[in-house]
Amino acid sequence: MDLAALSLVALLVAIVMSCTSRLHVGFLAIALAWLLGVYGAGMSAGQVMSGFPTSLFLTLTGVTLLFSQAQANGTLDLVAHRAVGYCRGNVGVMPMMFFVLTFVLASIGPGNIASTALVAPMAMAVAGQVGVPAFLMAIMVGNGANAGSLSPIAPTGVIVNGIMANVGLAGHEWSTYVNNAVAHALVAFAAYLLFGGWRLLSRRHEGTLAVPTSGSSTEAIGVGSRFERPHLITLVVIAALIVGVVFLDVNVGLAAFAGAVLLSLLRVGDELEAVRIMPWRVIMMVCGVTVLISLLETTGGLDLFTRMLASMSTKETVTGVVAASTGFISIYSSTSGVVLPAMLPTVPGLVEQLGGGNALAIASSMNIGGHLVDVSPLSTLGALCMAAAAPGVDTRDLFNKLMAWGLSMTVVGGITCYLMFGLGR
């Protein structure tokens, strides 16, 4: 077996291990890259380590540090509580509001997992008290979070945009974000109508709602939800970051580091707590898999992988095929940590192998297909909603429904992307 095939086998081993074990796939990927690179390809250890994405690591660390501070000092919690109060008791509006809330939170920086962790306990508790089906609420929360996940200042958006820039697709950050947001909004609101959400619009809930905070306490909506000095300063810093990234073209990672330092200097952010709750496992997963992907580029394994994908599709069907295949793998493996770092580098080669095609449409199809399945109970988002289910909810029934939803999204994702991107044009 030649080096190209061996390196591709190493990637497949990493993906399978991420699906079937709790072993950290980023560390496994680095170990496999070392063994194949040094003892198979004759590379030096320094050449193997040069595949580590230093820029991506710093950007992810800066962004997650800033928003971990906002989470630790209660700013994001207060934003969520205030949003719930704005529904004014309309039961049918509440699932839609939670979609918008998780979308906004994910978009402004925390990302899909952190936003779901913040919102799911509140959303599922509210659903239990006002009579919204737990399955419907989980769909709205999970898809809202994923709709905002590819924001240029969110962790997954940073990962995806970095990979796309490396393969010649720089400058499409906002198109990538909007494509993903539109797809998730279409699917979520179609589900809202299909599963009877429209019937809830005529119902009202009178009185307060007792919902959990991000800590261990529970409070009524509207009580103790004032924004104090630390929260206001944090919101100003986040707003400044967004303005800088959107209008002044500042580097999001370095600007986030500056914002995090400013919060610490002003004593409104708990730096130690923020570092503790940062998603280090995901950060190292992405970076480790990127080292292995870099080796695949050197040995020709990536070209081999691209030819395999091209053999399953045509110029007309490629967007649907890659969305469905990416989604299927993502049911069992980390979308941002494993699947997209493995799939996105194949886009230029796919266009070449197929004799043409829209590279951005193919990349967006991978992004959308990989994320649409992430409300299954095997994913972090679905598991967070399951764990937050209100007392009295049949969790086995909820598990089965979310599992069926996740599996069906492989097909729905393929069809959605095929239709969204001009029937394969």
- Per residue in 36-73, pLDDT (tens digit) is 999 999 999 999 999 999 988 999 899 989 988 988 89
- Taking Cα atoms as reference points, which of 321, 317, 314 lies closest to residue 354? 314
Residue 220, Ramachandran bin (φ over 0: left; ψ between -120 and 50: alpha; else beta): beta
In-domain check, residue 332:
yes
pLDDT score of 207: 63
- Per residue in 163-177, pLDDT (tens digit) is 999 999 999 999 999
**Structural domain count, the chain:** 1
**Residue 160 pLDDT level (bands cut at 50, 70, 90):** very high
Contact 7, 17 (CB under 8 A): no
Look at residue 91 and tell me whether its pLDDT is greater than 80: yes
- CA distances 36 to 7, 9, 13, 270, 307, Å, are 7, 11, 13, 42, 21
For the chain, the average pLDDT equals 88
In-domain check, residue 395:
yes
* Residue 255, φ and ψ in degrees, nearest 5: -65, -35
In-domain check, residue 292:
yes
Percentage of the chain beyond pLDDT 70 is 94
In-domain check, residue 194:
yes
- State pTM to two decimals: 0.84
**Residue 235 pLDDT level (bands cut at 50, 70, 90):** very high
Amino acid at 212: P
- The CB-side HSE value for 421 (13 A sphere, CA atoms) comes to 34
- For residue 142, what are the domain limits? 3-210+217-420
**Residue 423 pLDDT level (bands cut at 50, 70, 90):** low
- Per residue in 9-44, pLDDT (tens digit) is 999 899 888 878 888 889 999 999 999 999 999 999
- Estimate the crossing angle of helix 347-354 against helix 359-372, to 10 degrees: 120
**Residue 269 pLDDT level (bands cut at 50, 70, 90):** confident
* Residue 211, φ and ψ in degrees, nearest 5: -130, 150
In-domain check, residue 387:
yes
Q: What is the SS3 assignment for 34-97? A: HHHHHHCCCCCHHHHHCCCCHHHHHHHHHHHHHHHHHHHCCHHHHHHHHHHHCCCCECCHHHHH
CA distance linking residue 361 with residue 142, whole number of Å = 23
More reliable by pLDDT, 219 or 46: 46
Sort 388 into a burial class: Cβ within 10 Å, 0-12 / 13-18 / 19+: buried
In-domain check, residue 425:
no
- Per residue in 306-343, pLDDT (tens digit) is 888 889 888 889 999 999 999 998 887 788 888 999 99
Look at residue 224 and tell me whether its pLDDT is greater than 60: no
Q: What is the DSSP letter of 390?
A: P
